């Protein structure tokens, strides 16, 4: 994991805050990079929280094509019926 000294949810919140800060400062691509790095971790304890944060990030940016792409990637990765609903 990225850091054992922080509670996992705190870490996710912190990553999302950094991504949002980058977007506010005008560097949306850097914010996306932070979230891409986070979801690319081989083992995620609460992947649904992180994926939802990334999807929400793209919705806030009004990047609906990217949002759709994230849903498709999530479906391919999980194959879980709840994602499709």
- Binning the chain into helix, strand and coil, the percentages to the nearest 5 are 75, 0, 25
Structural domain boundaries enclosing 28: 8-84
Please check whether residue 16 lies inside any domain of the structure.
Answer: yes
Q: What is the pLDDT of residue 78?
A: 77
Please check whether residue 2 lies inside any domain of the structure.
Answer: no
CA 8 to chain centre: 14
Length of the chain: 85
Please check whether residue 3 lies inside any domain of the structure.
Answer: no
Cα–Cα dist 82/35, whole Å = 22
Name the domain count of the chain. 1
pLDDT in tens, 36-85: 988 887 777 777 888 888 999 999 999 999 999 998 998 888 766 666 55
Please check whether residue 19 lies inside any domain of the structure.
Answer: yes
CA distances in angstroms from 50 to 20, 25, 47, listed in the order given: 13, 22, 5
């Amino acid at each position: 994991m990225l850091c054992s000294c922080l509670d996992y949810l705190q870490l996710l919140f912190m990553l999302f805050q950094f991504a949002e800060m980058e977007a506010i400062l005008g560097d949306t691509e850097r914010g996306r990079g932070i979230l891409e790095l986070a979801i690319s971790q081989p083992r995620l304890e609460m992947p649904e929280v992180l994926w939802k944060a990334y999807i929400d990030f793209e919705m806030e940016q009004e990047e609906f094509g990217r949002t759709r792409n994230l849903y498709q990637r999530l479906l391919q990765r999980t194959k879980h019926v709840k994602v499709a609903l």
